[in-house]
Structure 1
């Protein structure tokens, strides 16, 4: 939720904005360190070949040992030869990832000690790794120096079979990262590396004894303090930004660095037709009614970027939690100087700028997108395996007003046969915005409400935000104060700001003791009225502070360990998300249920903890269209459990928009309808006919595909794959699809979806990336296609454009139910799509109990399905044996079957067959086969009925 009128929070503070406008947030030239570094880049460009970077490696300091190159970079600070020493480490991991880290040797002189009298730490922030990185750092002891050019460079070979190289140039400092001998990524090729070094205040100009120091220059004006929007940020450590240019050689498209409301393929940012004039900004903020097609910051940030060209993907991960800006420009180059058109390539040149902290960058050389994402996941963690109910439909608004209201919605969803899994409560359920409490007049029996939901196989989610109401009658805030677990002001006193409750304090979730205290608040006997089916929503955790600079916390606030908020701002939301995740893991001794926690703010690594959504969108067609590229960006940035508020948070969608948004939301990994408190009620059953029926059909499509989605989540959990995949990911050679972001494939199913995203449209143009055959999902018609072109697809209001690519097998559950819990032991249907040529198709099913961690002890089913000629087989996908002892869930699954197989595009040789032969575990039996020949544009299809092949067993079906 974004800002509300002042009256809504019980204060007459006049500087709290009614609504957020774009100019409420900084542009680069209003952010001192960004402006300085951009000006630095402009000076370098203006000088061209005459520009010389003042950063050089001392040759005598260079050494390589046990997978690490170490040296000292000398920064020349003036024309007198004064210098600053910057230790550099280049590490090479067993996974083939390179890491470049540059710090600063601090001179602890008297001037610095006198000036630095606050509680803030003196060194650069260096603890992001502890919170973000979970593995993948084992050094490659086989990496070796393969070239030393005297005092000028060292080249290290690393990676599988030595396919990667890092050429480290000394004067000026530069690094070329190569794959198979060709340069893919270059650091400091344009000489924009800039590390603003530690200095005492007033050190910019020398003065004679008794003379007054000259006034600061325009560049120095924001070194020690900076004002914006009526707030002043003191900077006790002075200027300490770090910037670096990173060039992707021969790459035209770059992706990632979410969250921004713009296209998947990132735009240039230095102006020009169709480009942005501002850099992409990463500084997590509460952006109320955010604008579209913009590089301005939103609620979360992941500083991970990929570059892609035909058959090659590379990437970089900028591990820095401070405010960060990224400029992107592209330059045409020619591999053949005599070529006019042919032979031209594009370099994408990026410039990364962070306010503070280390330079810490990881380099991934691919060559595939899958390689890059898998290795990034090894570092920062993979998507948490969700509860199965969490990938069903969530019904939410701000606010369901009472426990009777909740039960009434639950009853009406059942009355209209509309499936859903979770209902949500926003802030109004509390007693006066005091979290961990209930409004006793409206939620008279929360435990009974939860029990009623549980009887229907459903869950409850309640909101808990990081701001704690500053009220004398509130035990939680009293404990926070007495234990000193809140974020502090620059002078060390407890920070007080304004949010929904009015005057509030913020838990400092960087403090391990504060996290331990936070965990106690969620225990069932402490948070009375909650139960095992109650889960949590973390909102406003950027953090949102209504009367703070840019609606957030002052940068000179202090966190655990003495670190300034400026150092850790983008990590703040993740630490709160983590604290809540841990709290749900410890509500009751011995209760090992997977938690569900939704977060609005996030950073790299947040994918380990739960889901995110794209925040306060609007009920408009433009926001519906923007949701797809935003979620695709999340997926390829390692955080695929993502969604957007279906219907739009603000405003009232008309019936067509609401219906089309549900048809799009069916494919969101996180699928939630949500609405603002001032919006009209819009539960699906209120839409009226024909809209309610169309929305219900869309919801049932999602529920039938839950086995396929859960299987896709497993791939995300073990290999870092997106849930919904852009064209460049699935078809890395189809250049025409590299910038397409209005359609996507679902997991590994071969399902290609393109939701209708414009008013009044009754057809879409779907980009077809290859020569494979595509079938309409609903009627099995063969879609006329031309590879690399868009094909016309009719899409009246009741239709979702959804195609099936040949050569795939995916699981469904076809029995309509009210919730995923009630589908738990339903039989499966397999859908097989015959390829254009040959007769081979593959797919898989992963399933576990959808709730516990028993899958870690082998309590799961994971089957690989293969069509080979006239035979369909099922074998254990990972090659392992089933567990020696089946638990209760796995025993129950012995009576769950693959009971139907639908083969779309079935060959004519199957015509006349009336049965198939099935074998499993030494048993043989037959099952009926229905064959329907092709007619008109519809493909022939065959249906195997009443197969009764156990879902968790190996079996084979022969159609002979």
Structure 2
């Protein structure tokens, strides 16, 4: 959320003085002001690195000044260590840069370059600062959770004075050719180049140097009355321009009235990474841009600016832009027919990425037959190590899975978190909350969670309640619990600096807050006015933070209360670019510039673990939503795309953004349904609900100035249409939960773009407005344009497709688009042949109340009529007992030839060896009640019943067969009263 409109409507002002200060800091917001955020030329290190690139690429004889000393190198147990010499001037002076190239068991490569530790005498040359005098090297401990085992089978294939070749990977089909002078690396798979480092010679590591104070040059004497001509003035300005490196921003930088002192001086890193033969690259969220990244060096349809990764509070963000947003994941993938690769740039500082595409002079894949496009990227970070992981695929799943091995997979959420969330800034009282809860029931609209924004607090003091508006939060929570629902309250990282507030008093006395460059507690401005920020990098701060969430401390909360972390970029209203000064200090005296993009994750992490310790013995999965994130945040909870607008363009842009999150390892994502800012008309809001049911995180949200827009307020026919969309989401929750489990296991995206599911189909690589849901075979393309009553769905294969609602066979052709009618009451949703997915069809008010309902299986038979399969994962949806084997994981197979439908354990585990807990015992009473076979074979025609076998017993189930219709509807059969226990093996025989 962000400030908008008159200040008097948003703030609790305790004095005219505070109001005066705030009014000078803020102005009403009507749209994001791009000039409030840096462009590359306004960011010293980005400007210098781009200029460095321009010089290198323009010079015909350019040679990178970085060389590995061959005699310094040693290879042992899958790791090569050496020293790079950087030549810094014509006199031959050099800087030593240790390099480590690691080859991991997973087949992932890692390249790390540091700078030799500075000597004490050198440090004393610098102007005084409490900041650490070394490159930040702790990102790994926050981000990496596994996958670092070295490949001890990796071996040196060849070596001479010019280069070293290492063979590695599970099949030894990967190789890295490390060239010594100038330094570069060529990563190959099966002998073909895939990724190259420093291929263009843009490696640039700004080494430590003492600051040399220059004496001001004397002014030239002029005779009395003599004026400087325009030409002389320009000549003087030219003389003053820095020659070579622009030193004007090396030790200090000013933007927007804020000055950033740089006690360590320049220490940026830059590297060009080429994806050889790849036209499409994806990832590096979050940006309001297309899924396939655009070029950034100008030209028609391209951007002028690099993609920026610098977590910031960018409200009402503009679309089709590389401008930074709330979170950053520096993970990029490249895909072409037959190959997928990727890189992960492990650096938490401000980062810019240029993307340029060019035709190669020859085809690297086919010995000169034509040409291929190569995408050349240029990565630039302000500080820290050069630390890059390389993934050589060959499939999209391989790349994403290997990345997940390093950074972790999405946390297994509570099942309620996959339902619908109802939020606005703000529900005005506990009675207001209870009224919304009752009306959602009255209008038969299911939901699981209602949210409270900052106004529930006592004058923006977190862990408190407004005693006038929220007199009985426990009673409010109890009503929600009785209806199977949850409450989420917002807790932000800024703590109000005011007397008689125990939380801020403890923050100060325990010295747990972020500090300014002098080492004193940092004070800035956010929703409460004067505020301090918890330093969640500090383990003592995290321990203290956990104590604040205990039920005995945060009074008014109960077992169905969860947390929303907003503004954690961090947002600082009077700070540079609406965030924290870069020269602030965190635990260990690391500068904020080093850890900025990690900051939101550390706060989110502190809250996640706090919720796990609210009460001894309460081992429940937490639910926490975050706005700011980094690589690894997927291990904690959900995210959303921030302060979007009630416009059709923002609805349309939400899907590339959510898809980008999913392929970047963070699939639990969504956008504010309806748009946060503004007032959507009824058509837009209805279409947004129909689209939002396909967000993995599904929440409606609105600004405090927006009109009330709870879905039941729309009137008919919109109420009925929205209710139907909500019920569709709820009926499919078993399949959504199964998809989340798959994401939890190996990082698989929950909604999947075409390039992920059909990587060999080049026509689908850039498509970002349609997707498959989990492994269901459900292909969705929401309506995201005004007045549209049809959509064109691109068909990626030769399989049969059925309309989800009518069972009509869709006339399709591989690689072509088919037009699907989509009037206001219709959601374009197809079923791909060959799949089985699970539903729960009894309408309920919340997912909690569906817990013991029976299941329906939907079988969409393949084009040849012989096959379909799918899976279902179930656990208690709340605890960590699934880690102890308390779950059901079934595989369903339809065999048209054998005329059977069977259910087997997906893992082949021996369930008898598992000691059943209370939940698993109760699941014996939950069955597969109904099976719908779409594209039913003729062997089911005329049958009145089929046999069911399970647990050594057999019985009959009735069949209702419907022949194919002239309207195009496929034959389908409904097998009723199957009564097969969902957790047991069963077999249905229709021979």
TM tier relative to shorter chain: over 0.9
Question: Does the 8 A contact of 2:865 with 2:937 survive in 1?
Answer: no
Aligned to 2:646: 619
Counterpart-to-counterpart distance in 2, 1:538 and 1:621: 27
Q: Distance in 1 between matches of 2:122 and 2:286?
A: 41
The reply to whether residue 911 of structure 1 matches residue 941 of structure 2 is yes
My pick for the range that moved more, 550-559 or 339-348, is: 339-348
Any idea what the Cα deviations from partners look like across 1:849-906, whole Å, max 9, x if unmatched?
0000000000000000011121111000011122531111111100000011101011
Gaps in structure 2 of 5+ consecutive residues: 14-18, 218-238
Greater shift, 879-888 or 819-828, is seen at 879-888
1:81-480 matches, within 5 Å, as 81-108=92-119, 110-148=121-159, 150-202=160-212, 219-335=246-362, 343-480=370-507
Residue 333 of structure 1, CA deviation:
1.7
Q: 1:948 aligns with which of 974, 979, 982?
A: 979
- Per-residue deviation, 1:783: 0.6
Q: Larger deviation: 916-925 or 195-204?
A: 195-204
Q: Say whether residues 1:878 and 2:907 are aligned partners.
A: yes
**Which residue is 1:846 aligned to?**
873
Secondary structure at 2:124 match in 1: helix
CA distance in 1, matches of 2:266, 2:68: 23
Structure-1 residue corresponding to 2:236: none
Deviations 1:320-339 (A, max 9, x none): 00000000000112545999
Deviations 1:617-646 (A, max 9, x none): 000000000000000000000000000000
User: Which one of the candidate residues 6, 15, 27 is aligned to 2:39?
Assistant: 27
Call closer, same or farther: CA 1:803–1:231 in 2, change over 3 Å. same
How far apart in 2 are the matches of 1:76 and 1:228?
32
Q: Which residue of 2 aligns with 1:864?
A: 891
Q: Is the 8 A contact 1:6 1:12 kept in 2?
A: no
Matches within 5 A, 1:737-748: 737-748=764-775
Cα deviation for residue 190 of structure 1 reads: 0.2
Cα gap change, 1:200/1:785 in structure 2, threshold over 3 Å: closer, same or farther? same
On the 8 A contact 2:733/2:840 being kept in 1, the answer is yes
Partner residue in 2 for 1:560:
587
* Range with bigger deviation, 708-717 or 157-166: 157-166
900-909 vs 824-833, which moves further = 900-909
Q: Which residue among 4, 13, 20 is the counterpart of 1:12? A: 20
1:402 to partner: Cα distance = 0.4
In 2, are the aligned partners of 1:106 and 1:198 still within 8 Å (CA)? no
- For residue 166 of structure 2, give the secondary structure of its aligned residue in structure 1: strand
* Counterpart-to-counterpart distance in 1, 2:955 and 2:879: 35
Q: Which residue among 770, 775, 778 is the counterpart of 2:797?
A: 770
Deviations 1:510-556 (A, max 9, x none): 00000000000000000000001000000000000000000000000
1:889 has 2:899 as partner = no
Distance 2:366 2:100 in 1: 41
**Residues 283 and 323 of structure 1 are in contact (CA less than 8 Å); yes or no, is this contact kept in structure 2?**
yes
Distance 1:338 1:626 in 2: 35
Q: TM-score, normalised by structure 2?
A: 0.95
**TM-score of the superposed pair, with normalisation by structure 1:** 0.98
Shift of 1:116: 4.2
Q: 1:612 & 1:206 partners in 2: Cα distance?
A: 52
> Deviation of residue 412 (structure 1)?
0.5
- Alpha-carbon distance, 1:206 to partner: 15
Structure 1 vs Structure 2 CA RMSD = 1.7
1:665-719 Cα shifts (integer Å, max 9, x gaps): 0010000000000000001110100001000000000000000000000000001
Q: What 5-or-longer segments of structure 1 have no aligned partner? A: 208-212
Q: What are the equivalent positions in structure 2 for 1:595-614 lying under 5 Å apart?
A: 595-614=622-641
* Matched position secondary structure for 2:201: coil
Query: What do the CA deviations read for 1:453-506 (whole angstroms, capped 9, x no partner)?
Result: 001110000000000000001100000000010000000111000000000000
Match of 2:778 in 1: 751
Change (3 A) 1:324 1:642: same
Instruction: Tell me if the contact between 1:205 and 1:214 (Cα under 8 Å) persists in the aligned partners.
Output: no
Cα distance between partner residues in 1 of 2:925 and 2:309: 51
Query: Is 1:41 matched with 2:68?
Result: no
- SS of the residue corresponding to residue 51 of structure 2 reads helix
Structure 2 residue 962 is the aligned partner of structure 1 residue 939: no
Instruction: Provide the C-alpha distance between the structure 2 equivalents of 1:79 and 1:308, rounded to a whole number of angstroms.
Output: 42
The CA distance in 2 between the partners of 1:512 and 1:444, in whole Å, is 35
Show CA shifts across 1:727-754 (max 9, x none): 0000111111100001100000000000
Equivalences, count: 953
Q: Deviations over 1:432-472 (max 9, x none)?
A: 00000000000000011101100111000000000000000
Aligned pairs for 1:394-793 (under 5 A) are 394-793=421-820
SS of structure 2 residue aligned to 1:184: strand
Distance 1:73 1:336, change over 3 A: closer
CA shift digits 1:3-46 (9 cap, x unpaired): 34554344323133432311110000000000000001000110
SS of residue paired to 2:956: strand
Rounded to whole Å, the distance in 2 between the matches of 1:230 and 1:469 is 25
Q: Report the Cα offset of residue 398 of structure 1.
A: 0.3
For the 8 Å contact 2:362–2:368, the answer to whether it is kept is no
Deviations 1:83-132 (A, max 9, x none): 00000000011111110000001342535314242110000000000100
Counterpart of 1:115 in 2: which secondary structure? coil
Equivalent residue of 2:195, what SS?
A: strand
**In structure 2, C-alpha distance between the alignment counterparts of 1:335 and 1:842, rounded to whole Å:** 44
1:135-155: CA deviations, max 9, x gaps? 00011111110110x211111
Distance 1:595 1:15 in 2: 37
**Distance in 2 (alpha carbons) for counterparts of 1:89 and 1:285:** 33
